[in-house]
């Protein structure tokens, strides 16, 4: 749909020149680890192993029961094995790796029993061979340390993904989140992350090879290559993040992010005098058709004069505010005199309505899938629309709904979903 030549966005741009094409940032971030897995053979092999473990226990109730028995004997709180493939958001990849580490000892002990039990005729030779291959891979020191490195990297990307899934997301928040995540990843080159540090502390220096009661196959070359592998993987993730979000550093996106991010504003008043003028001109020229249709917008020269007045006022009195709060106050008329910045208010309003994410649409699809199930397939469109509005517009915000119906009984939406009656009078 967003192809540059014959996609929907290209066709619409022919009719509306000021149209801005934005790929949902949450979806684009999800593609970053997928790009890395395609380029790094070690990641591809690890993905196959994790998905193989998931398939082994997901398709066999007997194997799941046996794994649960092994976990109880080892006094391990078992987590359901996950897959790296699946949902549309990035955190599910982290959940699959976390489940592997939490169940590490139980899974290895169970797979080893499968692989070594020659009298077990219920298991096919294919399954036994797959179990031996998985055990051999997961007992390699370089594999386990690589998993912990990925956990640290994906933990940072998970926080960024949760930021990108917010209902209210601006270009400045995206830019700040990308910069913060990139700096955190670069810091991991020299300072180990939380998961990697815990693993190295438990195993100890070479030749230590015991982790969670499992003896690892550790070689001196693995320690020698640790820094090289870590730097290569982190650089790879940073490069793919930059590639996926490179469009935000060009044209009107770069101009908007530079102008309206207070962290970019210079402290020196001389440099502040000319700051943002070229970016303002880029922004105004791109949205020229929209701005000319506004009654409050008069000319680019008038906008530049307001921009200079606004910079002076913010620099002297409002520099302590966060960017988001500052521009909200400007739209509310709480910055400067009444009617002092009509042109800048129009420009800021355009900036704040950039649709950076469509996660709310995806949540709506997921909510509809839960509501209109096979057991409730006869819901009318009106009823389905009403229930969806209750869940999306009210449950996400308030969690409680009070209505004077059913004799003063309060309806309450619990965190797990589903309406239930709470026998308390409405106050």
**HSE value, Cβ hemisphere, 13 Å, CA-based, for 144:** 28
DSSP-assigned states of every residue in 276-324: THHHHHHHHHHTHHHHHTSSS---HHHHHHHHHHHHHHIIIIITTS-HH
Give phi and psi for 299, each to the nearest 5. -160, 165
Look up residue 354 and give its DSSP letter. -
Q: Give the C-alpha separation, 132 to 125, whole Å.
A: 10
- pLDDT, tens digit, for every residue of 51-102? 888 888 888 888 889 899 999 998 988 888 877 776 667 777 788 888 899 9
Torsion of CA 115, 120, 121, 127, to 10 degrees: -20
Q: pLDDT tens, 216-240?
A: 999 999 888 888 888 888 998 888 8
On the CB side of 324, CA atoms within 13 Å amount to 10
What is d(CA 40, CA 160) in angstroms, rounded to the nearest whole number? 23
Q: Are strands 420-425 and 400-405 parallel, antiparallel or unpaired?
A: unpaired
Q: Which sign does the torsion angle of CA 404, 406, 407, 411 carry?
A: negative
Global pTM reads 0.77
Q: pLDDT tens digits, the chain, 427 residues: what are they?
A: 555 677 777 788 778 777 888 888 888 888 887 777 777 788 888 888 888 888 888 888 888 898 999 999 989 888 888 777 766 677 777 888 888 999 999 999 988 887 776 666 556 667 777 788 888 888 999 999 999 999 999 899 888 988 888 877 888 888 888 889 999 999 999 899 999 999 999 999 888 889 988 899 999 998 888 888 888 889 988 888 888 887 777 788 888 888 888 888 998 888 998 999 999 999 888 888 888 787 767 788 888 999 999 999 998 889 888 888 888 889 888 888 888 888 888 888 888 888 887 777 877 888 888 888 778 778 888 888 888 888 777 655 544 444 444 344 344 444 444 444 343 433 3
Residue tagged 């684009």 (tokens): 28
Residue 256 and residue 351 in contact, taking contact as beta carbons nearer than 8 Å: yes
What is the C-alpha separation between 25 and 245, in angstroms, rounded? Answer: 8
By CB atoms closer than 10 A (0-12, 13-18, 19+), residue 204 is: exposed
Distance between CA atoms of residues 55 and 84, nearest Å = 11
- Chain-centre distance for alpha carbon 76: 30
- What is d(CA 111, CA 89) in angstroms, rounded to the nearest whole number? 30
Q: Cα–Cα distance between 350 and 256 in angstroms, integer?
A: 10
Mapped onto helix, strand or coil, the DSSP state of residue 424 is strand
């Amino acid at each position: 749909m967003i192809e540059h030549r014959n996609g929907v966005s290209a066709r619409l741009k022919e009719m509306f020149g000021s149209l801005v094409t934005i790929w949902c940032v949450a979806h684009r971030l999800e593609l970053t680890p997928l790009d890395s897995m395609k380029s790094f053979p070690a990641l591809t092999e690890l993905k196959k192993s994790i998905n193989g473990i998931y398939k082994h226990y997901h398709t066999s109730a007997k194997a799941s029961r046996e794994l649960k028995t092994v976990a109880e004997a080892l006094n391990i709180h078992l987590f359901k094995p996950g897959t790296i493939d699946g949902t549309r958001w990035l955190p599910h990849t982290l959940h699959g790796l976390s489940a592997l580490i939490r169940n590490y000892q139980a899974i290895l002990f169970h797979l080893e029993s499968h692989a070594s039990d020659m009298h077990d005729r219920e298991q096919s030779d294919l399954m036994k061979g797959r179990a031996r291959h998985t055990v051999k891979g997961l007992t390699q020191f370089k594999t386990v340390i690589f998993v912990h490195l990925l956990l640290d990297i994906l933990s940072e990307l998970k926080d960024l993904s949760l930021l990108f899934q917010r209902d209210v997301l601006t270009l400045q928040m995206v830019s700040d989140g990308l910069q913060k995540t990139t700096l955190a990843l670069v810091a991991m080159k020299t300072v180990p992350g939380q998961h990697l540090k815990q693993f190295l502390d438990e195993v100890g220096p070479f030749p230590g090879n015991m982790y969670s009661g499992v003896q690892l196959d550790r070689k001196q070359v693995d320690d020698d290559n640790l820094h090289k592998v870590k730097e290569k993987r982190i650089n790879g993730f940073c490069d793919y993040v930059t590639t996926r979000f490179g469009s935000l550093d060009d044209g009107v996106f770069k101009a908007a992010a530079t102008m309206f991010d207070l962290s970019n504003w210079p402290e020196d008043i001389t440099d502040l005098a000319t700051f943002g003028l070229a970016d303002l001109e880029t922004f105004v020229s791109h949205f020229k058709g929209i701005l000319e249709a506004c009654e409050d917008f008069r000319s680019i020269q008038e906008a530049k004069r307001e921009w200079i007045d606004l910079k002076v006022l913010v620099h002297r009195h409002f520099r302590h505010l966060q960017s988001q709060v500052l521009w909200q106050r400007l739209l509310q008329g709480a910055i400067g005199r009444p009617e002092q910045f009509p042109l800048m208010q129009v420009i800021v309003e355009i900036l704040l309505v950039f649709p950076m994410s469509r996660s709310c649409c995806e949540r709506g699809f997921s909510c509809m899938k839960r509501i209109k199930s096979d057991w409730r397939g006869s819901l009318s469109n009106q009823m389905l629309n009403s229930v969806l509005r209750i869940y999306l517009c009210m449950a996400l915000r308030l969690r409680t709904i009070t209505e004077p119906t059913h004799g003063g009984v309060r309806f309450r939406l619990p965190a797990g979903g589903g309406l239930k009656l709470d026998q308390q009078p409405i106050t």
